[in-house]
Amino acid sequence: MNFVQPNDLVRVLPEIVLAGFAILVMVLDPFVSSGRKSTLGWLALVGVAAAAYSTSWTSLSPGTAFNGNVSADEFSMYFTLLFLFVAGLTLLGSVHYLERDGINHAEYYSLVLMATLGMCFMAASTELIMIFLGLEISSISTYILAGFKRSNAQSNEASLKYFLLGSFATAFFLYGIAFVYGISGSTNLTDLNVHLARSTGWASMTSVALLLMFVGLGFKVSAVPFQIWTPDVYQGAPAPVTAFLSVGPKAAAFAVVLRVFLVGFAGVSSLSFWLIWISALLTMSLGNLAALWQSNVKRFLAYSSIAHAGYVLVGIAAALAPGALNITRAEATSSVLFYLAAYALMNVGVFILIAHLAGPGERYTNVDDFVGFGFERPGAAACLAVFMFSLAGIPTMAGFFAKFYVFRAAIHSNLIGLTIIALLNSVVSVYYYLRLVVVMYMREGKSEASHVDMPASLGIAMAASLFGIFYLGLLPGSFLDLANLAANRLP
């Protein structure tokens, strides 16, 4: 046991910066008049930028910190930057939104930073208790964020539902950790792996531990059958929060899934493989089929995000496939990482755009509110159309390569049946993504959606996400190299 080393602090520098700014925003809150709370939003954004910048120091001294509880490696760095990007976009999409809807409070910005901090720890920790702490920090922050429209019943419902079911799920996760400790006498994932490789007994206990942890994580990534909460929460929460929720905690939970299943439980991969395989199949099919019937934009995007979780699970199944070579496993892992980045670009972008277009109080979130919108506000409509096409996986956009890499990995792991189902699913998804395009461009009428010009902050966020979408869609090579680097960090 060592006490804190200077290097330890550098290795969690981004998290420290985030915590610092989160506290700073809260402390400064009383000194900022209520009409100018947006300043704190910009301050939070500076915090995100500073945290991103601080990763350049962290990357100079990679390694584990705090007695091997946290690892600053390419994998955690990849996720840290991803979360910071998501947080940055969310903040850009929030500032104007909160002002418009009269809920511009400092706590919001602080909570976004805290949630991001928790997610960073989830991805960086190599020890289950730390992962749990990260999970709790991010969960509790997002429970509050989901209910941030205090006067709105739907938002309250979202918060309560998310909170109750979420606590239940984290309890499962914790229970799983207890089993792991019982089996191996340690909560460290590497120790667990070593122990499982050495001992032959305890097989049923291991399975129970694995199942319990999967329940907890499955809830966070909204994998079927733990997805029930998703549509209600995504629809009820303020749209920028949904943007954050639909990507951040999900990606963090996927990072944990990768670490737990590929590192901790590497020895028992056939059980985890089938678990993920079935879950992938159900998640994408149910998500897509349910999305077909939705008439509310936020709700169908919620189901679409369930479906996307299914595609990511296909990638994870490819990584866990029995008999997969190391190189195939790394390829599959990197495809998952790439997918999450592409998904972040599309989903955050589309939700903060919807937040703006839905108008004050988010009154207009029905698909039919966009009738004829295409030619009324060509710029905003074109953005929305690009998001839809990218989510549908049309080439030249990020969503296509994301799917392409995942399916390639799945084929390499001989999951041909699952790939065919996934591809047919993505054809089904084309139908409902295009419905919004149909409504915007091909129906005559006057739209209800907001005709107010995009605020500059949202414009920047749109430009960033569209640039990202086309960059990953046309020249994905260099970014995939990054994902490969990160993936190779997982043994």
> Which residues, 376 to 405, sit near another protein by CB under 8 A?
389, 394-396, 400, 404
Shortest CB 49 distance to another protein, Å: 30
Do residues 276 and 313 make contact, with C-beta atoms less than 8 angstroms apart? yes
User: In terms of CB distance, is 156 or 484 closer to another protein?
Assistant: 484
User: In terms of CB distance, is 163 or 389 closer to another protein?
Assistant: 389
Considering only 27, 46, 481, 491, the residue that binds another protein (CB under 8 A) is 481
> Which residues, 419 to 478, sit near another protein by CB under 8 A?
419-420, 423-424, 426-427, 430-431, 434, 438, 441-443, 475-477
Query: Which uninterrupted H or E stretch holds 5?
Result: none
Alpha carbon distance 271, 225 (integer Å): 17
User: In terms of CB distance, is 57 or 431 closer to another protein?
Assistant: 431
Shortest CB 80 distance to another protein, Å: 24
Shortest CB 427 distance to another protein, Å: 5
> Which residues, 338 to 377, sit near another protein by CB under 8 A?
375
User: In terms of CB distance, is 205 or 428 closer to another protein?
Assistant: 428
Here the tokens at position 17 are: 């910066």
Considering only 164, 178, 228, 416, the residue that binds another protein (CB under 8 A) is 416
Shortest CB 36 distance to another protein, Å: 40
User: In terms of CB distance, is 165 or 438 closer to another protein?
Assistant: 438
Shortest CB 424 distance to another protein, Å: 6
Alpha carbon distance 112, 387 (integer Å): 24
Shortest CB 438 distance to another protein, Å: 5
User: In terms of CB distance, is 421 or 452 closer to another protein?
Assistant: 421
Tell me the number of residues near another protein by CB under 8 A: 31
User: In terms of CB distance, is 10 or 440 closer to another protein?
Assistant: 440
Going 241 to 244 to 249 to 250, the CA torsion angle's sign is positive
Between the alpha carbon of residue 300 and those of residues 81, 156, 231, the distances in Å are 28, 20, 8
Shortest CB 477 distance to another protein, Å: 4
Considering only 484, 485, 488, 489, the residue that binds another protein (CB under 8 A) is 484
User: In terms of CB distance, is 149 or 412 closer to another protein?
Assistant: 412
Nearest to 357 by CA among 332, 335, 374, 342: 374
How far from the centroid of its chain's Cα atoms is residue 207's Cα? 27
Considering only 72, 266, 480, 490, the residue that binds another protein (CB under 8 A) is 480
Considering only 133, 289, 408, 471, the residue that binds another protein (CB under 8 A) is 408
Do residues 124 and 84 make contact, with C-beta atoms less than 8 angstroms apart? no
Shortest CB 406 distance to another protein, Å: 11
**Among the residue ranges 116-124, 312-320, 413-421, 449-457, the one whose residues contact another protein (CB under 8 A):** 413-421
> Which residues, 278 to 337, sit near another protein by CB under 8 A?
none
Here the tokens at position 120 are: 């960073």
User: In terms of CB distance, is 35 or 477 closer to another protein?
Assistant: 477
Rounded to a whole number of angstroms, the distance between the first and last alpha carbons of the chain is: 25
Shortest CB 235 distance to another protein, Å: 25
Here the contacts of 185-189 (C-beta below 8 Å, separation 24 or greater) are 187/127, 187/128, 187/129, 188/68, 188/69, 188/126, 188/127, 188/128, 189/126, 189/127, 189/128, 189/259, 189/260, 189/263, 189/264
Nearest to 250 by CA among 441, 379, 79: 79
User: In terms of CB distance, is 236 or 476 closer to another protein?
Assistant: 476
SS3 readout for 151-218: CCHHHHHHHHHHHHHHHHHHHHHHHHHHHHHHHHCCCEHHHHHHHHHHCCCCHHHHHHHHHHHHHHHH
User: In terms of CB distance, is 86 or 480 closer to another protein?
Assistant: 480
Alpha carbon distance 289, 375 (integer Å): 30
Shortest CB 124 distance to another protein, Å: 26
Task: Tell me, residue by residue from 46 to 85, as one string, x for binding to another protein by CB under 8 A and - for no binding.
Answer: ----------------------------------------
Written as one string, the DSSP assignment of 368-381 is GGGTTHHHHSHHHH
| Residue 122 CB coordination number (10 Å) | 32
| Residue 480 CB coordination number (10 Å) | 20
Do residues 10 and 61 make contact, with C-beta atoms less than 8 angstroms apart? yes
Shortest CB 93 distance to another protein, Å: 27
Written as one string, the DSSP assignment of 276-311 is HHHHHHHHHHHHHHHHTT--BHHHHHHHHHHHHHHH
Written as one string, the DSSP assignment of 341-405 is HHHHHHHHHHHHHHHHHTTGGG---BGGGGTTHHHHSHHHHHHHHHHHHHHHT-TTSHHHHHHHH
Shortest CB 309 distance to another protein, Å: 20
Residues that bind another protein (CB under 8 A): 375, 389, 394-396, 400, 404, 407-408, 411-412, 416, 419-420, 423-424, 426-427, 430-431, 434, 438, 441-443, 475-477, 480-481, 484
